[in-house]
A and B are shown apart, each in its own frame.
Chain A
Amino acid sequence: MRAEALRKTYGTTRALDGVDLEIPAGTVLGLLGPNGAGKTTTVRVLTTLLRPDSGRAWVAGHDVLAEPDAVRRSIGLSGQYAAVDGHLTGYENLYLVGRLYGMSRADARSRSRALLDRFRLAADGDRPAKGYSGGMRRRLDLAGALIAEPAVVVLDEPTTGLDPRGRQETWDVISELVTDGATVLLTTQYLEEADRLADTIAVIDAGRVIARGSADELKAQIGGERLELVVADTAQLAVARAVLAEVGAAEPAVDEHLRRVSVAVDAGPKALIEVLRRFDALGEGEVAVLDIALHRPTLDDVFLTLTGHPAEERTDERTGDRTDGRAGDRAGGGGPAGPGAAR
C-alpha cells in the first residue's frame, strides 16, 4: 500500500497537504493524529471513497484512481462509525457484505458463521444488531471487513468511542488479525493503541506526515516518559521548575493555572527518585508538592515535541463530532490540551 503526495482541499482547509505513506505487505502501519489531522481523509482516498485533488496511491498493486474496482476487491474497510444495519441480525449483516463481495450464498453463509465464532458473537448472531453493545457492533463491523479475506485491511479509529472493556476486546481481535499476516492501515488518536498494534507509526498533523518510525523510535524522539508535579502555591513554581530543568531531558513546561510543572525524562523511575531527593534536600516548607507522577507519553506529548503545539482539534474536517470517544485515553495524564480523564 503506497500513497504519494496526496492533496485534498475543502474550501480553504487543506485536509491533506502532501501525504506520503508506505506500508509493506504483511505489516501494520498506525496512522496517529488528532481529529481533523487528515486520518479519515487519507483512509477515504485509499479506499476509493474520495478522489484526491492531486497525488497517487496504490493498494495491493492497483492504482486507486485507475482501477478502483480492483482496489475494492482487495480491501476490507471498517470505518470510524460501525456501519452496521441495526435491523439485521449479526449474521445477516455479515452475509449481506459477503454477498456484495461477490461470494456465493454457501460461502457467504459459512464464512459469516465462522467469523461470528471467531469474534465471539456466535451466541448473539441471530439477534438484531441494534441490541448489541458498542464493542459488539465494532467487532461485527470488523468481521464484515474481513469476510472476503482481503489482502489489505483498513481500520479507521477502531476503538474511538468504546469503553475500556470494548477497547480491550477490539484490540484482542486486531492482534489476532495482525498475527494472521494481513497488511493493515490503522488510524488512531491513541499512542498506546498504535504502540500495541502497529509495526510502524506515522504521525499526521494538519494534513502532513510529520514523523514516522517504530514506536520505540518515536518515544526516543519525544524523550520517553514525562515527570509531572503539582505544587501548593504558584510562588513555588519557579523553584520546582529549576529542579526539573536539572533532572529532565528537555525544557520543563509550566502551567501556572494548574500549578503544574512537567518535563520529559530519559529514565523515568531514576529521575523521579532524583527529583524527590532534591526536594527533600531543599527542606520543609520550601516547596509543598501536592502530586508527583510519571506519565507514559501521550499523543499530546508527541505533538508538543514534534510540532511545538499541543494536539489541537480541527473541527472543520469531516471526522465530525468526536468528544465522547476520548474519555478512555488511559495512557494520558493529560497534556496541555489533554484528553483529560486519566483513570
Chain B
Amino acid sequence: MLVKATRDSSVVAWRNLVTIRRNPDLLFGAVVNPIVFVLLFAYVFAGSLGGEGYRHFLVAGIFVQTVAFNSAFTTLGLTNDLTKGLIDRFRSLPMSRIAVMLGRTTSDLVVSAVTLVIMTGAGLVVGWRIQGSVTGAVLGYGLLLLFAFAMSWIGAWIGLLCRTVEVAQSAGLIWLFPVSFIASVFVSAQTLPGPLRAFAEWNPVSAVSDATRSLFGNPVQPPGIAPATGWVAEHAGLYAVLSSLAIVAVFMPLALARYRRVASR
C-alpha cells in the first residue's frame, strides 16, 4: 500500500517535472516574482524601516511568503489536469488514490527548492547573510521545505474544487494575500492592530518566518521593535513544525476525499 503509493507518486512527480522542464514559463512566476519582491522591499522599504538590519529581518520572511505562494502552482496544476480529462484517466487506472496529489505536491516541493536557491542568491545580492551555524541553516531550509509541502496540500484541495483554470488562477492566489501579509513577513506582528495582531501571532506563516530567522541567526524583529512575547513567539520552532504537520493532517484527507468523487466536467 505504502510502497505502491510511493512508487505511483514518484511516477506522477516525474511526469510533472518533465512538463515543467518542457514549459519553463511555468517557472517564470515562481522565480521572477520573489526576486522583484526582494529588490523592491530591500531598497524601497529598508530605508524607512531600519536599513541593513531590516534586510536581515526581511529576507527569511520573503522566503516563507514565496514558498507559501508556490502552493498556487499545486492548485493550477491539478485544475489543469482536471479540465484536460487527465484526472479521469488517472482515476480509471489501478493506481494509488493519493498518488496524483502526492506526486503533485512532491514535484512542487522541487519547484520550491529551486526557488529557494534563486532567492538565496537574490538575498545575498542585497546584503543579507546567514549569520548562524551551518546546522541552523540546514534546519532553516528544512523547515521552509516542510512548510512549502504543507501549504501545497491546501493548494491541492483548492485545485480539485475549481472547475476551470481561470477560477484556479484566482482562487489559488487570493487566500494567500491575507495569510502572508497578516503575519510577521514584512513587519513585526507586534505593530498590528488588535484582532490582526492575534491572527498574525497564531499564523503559521509568522511562526515559520520567526523560526527560520532564528535558525539563520537573523534578527527576529525589525530594528527598534521589542521582542515578541507569548507562547507562540517563545516556541516559534515547535509551533512552526506542529502547524505544518497539522495542515497536512487536515488537507491531505480533504484533498483525497475530493479526488475520490471529483467529476471532471
* A79: min CB distance to chain B, Å: 6
Tell me whether B191 is interfacial, beta carbon within 8 Å.
no
List B contacts of A320 (CB < 8 A): 265
In the complex, the answer to whether A102 meets B18 with C-beta atoms within 8 Å is no
The answer to whether residues A85 and B86 also contact, given A96-B15, A99-B11, A318-B263 and a CB cut-off of 8 A, is: yes
Chain A stretch 68-107: residues in CB contact (< 8 A) with chain B = 69, 72-73, 75, 77, 79-83, 85, 87-88, 92, 96-97, 99-102
Cβ-defined contact, B263 with A50, below 8 A: yes
Shortest distance in angstroms between B101's beta carbon and chain A's nearest beta carbon? Answer: 14
Within 8 Å CB of A69, what residues of B? Answer: 94
Contacts of B85 in A (CB 8 A): 79-83
- Contact call B265/A101, Cβ cutoff below 8 A: no
Q: How many A-B residue pairs have CB under 8 A?
A: 70
Q: Are A77 and B89 within 8 A (Cβ)? A: yes
| Binary per-residue interface labels of chain A (27-52) against chain B in the complex, 1 for a CB within 8 Å, 0 otherwise | 00000000000000000100111110
Question: Which residues of chain A come closer than 8 Å to B22, judged between CB atoms?
Answer: 87-88, 128
Q: For the complex, what is the distance from the CA of A82 to the CA of B85, rounded to whole Å?
A: 8
A49-B91, A77-B89 known; A85 vs B11 contact (CB < 8 Å) = no
B window 81-95: CB within 8 A of A: 84-86, 88-95
Interface size on A, residues (CB 8 A): 30
Say yes or no: B92 contacts A318, CB within 8 Å. Answer: no
Bound complex: CA A92 to CA B4 (Å): 20
| Closest beta carbon of chain B to A151's beta carbon, Å | 13
State whether A318 touches B265 (Cβ < 8 A): yes
Interface residues of A in 49-63 (CB under 8 A from B): 49-51
A90 CA to B161 CA, complexed, in Å = 29
Using Cβ atoms and an 8 Å threshold, which residues of chain A touch B265? 318, 320
Query: B91: which A residues are within 8 A, CB to CB?
Result: 48-49
CB of A161 closer than 8 Å to a CB of B = no
* Inter-chain contacts of B94 with A (CB < 8 A): 69, 72-73, 100-102
**A328, CB-defined interface residue at 8 Å:** no
Interface string of B101-115 (1 = CB under 8 A from A): 000000000000000
A144 at the interface (CB under 8 A from B): yes
Q: List residues 122-179 of chain A with CB under 8 A from any CB of chain B.
A: 128, 144
Q: Of A48, A88, A144, which one neighbours B15 at CB under 8 angstroms?
A: A88
CA distance A85 to B14 in the complex (A): 13
**Residues of A contacting B89 with CB < 8 Å?**
77, 79, 83, 97, 144
Closest to B4 in A: A102
The yes or no answer to B23 lying at the interface (CB within 8 A) is: yes
Q: Considering the complex, give the chain B residue whose CB is closest to the CB of A108.
A: B11
B93: chain A residues within 8 A (beta carbon)? 72, 97, 100-101
Does B8 count as interface, using CB distance less than 8 angstroms?
Answer: yes
B11: nearest chain-A partner, CB-CB: A99
Beta-carbon contact of B86 and A100 below 8 Å? no
- Decide: A49 and B15 in contact? CB cutoff 8 A: no
- Interface: B133 (CB within 8 A): no
Q: Is B170 an interface residue (CB 8 A)?
A: no
Chain B residues, Cβ within 8 Å of A96 = 11, 15
- The answer to whether B90 and A47 touch across the interface, beta carbons within 8 angstroms, is no
The answer for the CA separation of A34 and B265 in the assembled complex, in Å, is 18
> With A48-B92, A72-B94, A88-B18 given, is the CB distance from A100 to B84 under 8 Å?
no
Contacts of B263 in A (CB 8 A): 44, 49-50, 318
Residues in B247-263 with C-beta less than 8 Å from chain A: 261, 263
Distance, CA A15 to CA B261, complexed state (A): 17
B1-17 vs A, Cβ < 8 Å mask (1 yes, 0 no): 00010001001100100
CB-CB < 8 A to A49: which residues of B? 88, 91-92, 263
Report Cα–Cα, A318/B23, bound state, in Å. 31
Q: How far is the CA of A80 from the CA of B11 in the complex (A)?
A: 25
Q: Which residues of B sit under 8 angstroms from A44, Cβ to Cβ?
A: 263
Q: A49-B88, A49-B263, A87-B19 are in contact. List 19 more A-B contacts (CB 8 A).
A: A50-B263, A51-B261, A69-B94, A72-B93, A75-B92, A77-B88, A77-B89, A82-B85, A83-B84, A83-B88, A85-B15, A88-B22, A92-B15, A96-B15, A100-B8, A100-B90, A100-B95, A102-B94, A318-B263
The chain B residues found within 8 Å of chain A, CB to CB, are 4, 8, 11-12, 15, 18-19, 22-23, 84-86, 88-95, 99, 261, 263, 265
